[in-house]
Amino acid sequence: MAKKTDERDVLIVRDEKTGEISVVAGLNADGTPKRVPAKAENTKDFMTFDRHGDVIDNFFKNFYRQCKEPYRFGFYRIAAEQADKLIDAMKELLKDPVVNAELLAPHKVDTSEYARAVSEEEKQDNHNQQTPNEENMQKNNRQPENGQETPAEKRGYQPIDESKIDWNKFEAQYGLTRDDLVASKSLDKMLNYRKSEPLTVRVEVLGERQELGARLELKRLPDGSVDFVPDFVRKEARLDEPHKGHTFTDEEKKALQQTGNLGRVVDLVDKETGEIIPSFISIDRFTNKIEDVPANKVRITDKIGKTEISETEQALLKSGGYVRKEIELANGRKFPAILQVSAIDKGVEFVPRNARIWQGERQGQRNGQDQEQGKRKGRAWMDEDGNIKPIGTWKGVELNEQQKADYISGKTIRLEKVPDKDGNPATIYVKFNHEKGRPFRYDTNPDTAQKVAPSNESRTQIAVNNEGKTNEATKHVKEPLQQGQTAPANERQQRQQNKPKGQRL
């Protein structure tokens, strides 16, 4: 009896170097998977595997025998009959397999047994065919014992094999367990060559156990084993010392202190090979260690959640700059963010809200709000993200649309017929003062430091009412002049102006 279709699978393959996601259609002559675009309309070209048969075993054994970069590819299986429905969801998850590792776990194909079996076959063949001299000459080109990497493995991407971790040694050395790493969401990061989340480790110092802040990472040793490397907290980053041949300028030090990232790509020197490598540099905000990552190892995506990242924004991120963006996640949550490449995360990060770039922009605004809170009965001139809130009027004078737009962008606006201290209409300037955290009224233009030039129809009014000057045609008029007034406005003012000195009206 033929097996049911739901007992057959298709394989989705992810190129770990390029991030390309496809579906397996077979095996090429060089051992690389033959791939077709991961689209529902291509289902007829997908290679299907009997879930209980030998075809998939033969596929992976041949793959490891022939492919020069087997660890460049990651494989995930889904039911063949559900492929057209699941493929888009899998593509979305595979854009960041580390973050989505938990959701992908049921689908991920563990190929380590195939790799180990093929390795054993090759070692046995080499042992049978080589003389001792030949074996010594070729020991750097064949798979050695203890699981050491072959040149092919070094060229391709290979996550760290968890089975090589000595968890008893880890607990004795750092006072933590595997469960602690899982609970802190650190283990998956570490298996993919990233640092753990900030941890408190208990290590022996001068015969005594002490608790220290640290981040941990995993390193494969020459003998094939895996060990933990701690990065303990430092008092401060050593920015006055050269880093791999690069001396930080004052501007670069300021950028690292403000965002945690250098803000540009610089050339670093590999101490072992002398190679010049364009790289990103960041400070680990927890340990204060200076880290770097080659620029060609960082992938910039065109989408974060539901938010598109334009080509211009991608280019800016690739150069090390930062991008302000409102991010919308898949669950619909929205929030403002500053995006920048982090050498710590080896990719684009959300610059934390406690970074100085956020603090510097909002400190003056927060101070101004604190000072004005009592006076303005809690009225806020800025929103929670530090943006200037729009205003519709100033002292009863309505702003037009252009004035509203200029105000919230931080520009100076000019207003006419604003009541002065005596309630008379005057011309003033208004601008948001970031140091005080509120809008300020100015008699001079704060952008040019020049005295306000009133309109022609207001000059006599301002000179007489505000500056104590005299206008011959109205010098005996006792009431404040109105805008545009240069002569008596009515019969009563005319009598005042014509009144002989000392005569009562």
- pTM, whole model, 2 decimals? 0.41
Distances (CA, A) of 226 to 159, 163, 169, 172, 229: 12, 9, 11, 16, 10
Please answer whether residues 327 and 344 qualify as being in contact, where contact means their C-beta atoms are separated by less than 8 angstroms.
no
> Diameter of the chain by CA atoms?
134
Please answer whether residues 337 and 323 qualify as being in contact, where contact means their C-beta atoms are separated by less than 8 angstroms.
no
Report the distance separating Cα 137 and Cα 127, nearest Å. 13
Answer whether residue 218 shows pLDDT above 90.
yes
Query: Could you give the percent of the chain with pLDDT greater than 70?
Result: 75
Report the distance separating Cα 342 and Cα 259, nearest Å. 10
Answer whether residue 310 shows pLDDT above 60.
yes
DSSP code per residue over 339-355: EEEETTTTEEEE--TTS
For 353-372, what is each residue's pLDDT tens digit? 766 666 544 444 454 444 44
Report the distance separating Cα 443 and Cα 232, nearest Å. 56
And the tokens for 188? 């998956």
pLDDT recorded at residue 255: 87
Among candidate residues 270, 451, 258, the one with its CA nearest the CA of residue 362: 258
Q: Higher-confidence residue: 157 or 410? A: 410
> Which pLDDT band holds residue 60 (cuts at 50, 70, 90)?
confident
Distances (CA, A) of 80 to 3, 28, 55, 73, 102: 13, 22, 15, 20, 22
pLDDT recorded at residue 167: 92
Beta strands in 264-346 (DSSP E): 266-269, 276-283, 290-294, 303-304, 307-308, 323-328, 334-342
Lowest mean pLDDT among 333-337, 407-411, 484-488: 484-488
Report the distance separating Cα 290 and Cα 298, nearest Å. 17
Report the distance separating Cα 40 and Cα 15, nearest Å. 19
And the tokens for 331? 């669950």
pLDDT recorded at residue 354: 67
Q: Higher-confidence residue: 339 or 115? A: 339
pLDDT recorded at residue 153: 43
Which is it for strands 438-442 and 266-269: parallel, antiparallel or unpaired?
unpaired
Answer whether residue 443 shows pLDDT above 90.
no
What phi and psi, each to the nearest 5 degrees, are found at residue 425? Answer: -65, 135
For 178-203, what is each residue's pLDDT tens digit? 999 998 889 988 998 888 888 899 98
Lowest mean pLDDT among 60-74, 168-182, 437-451: 437-451
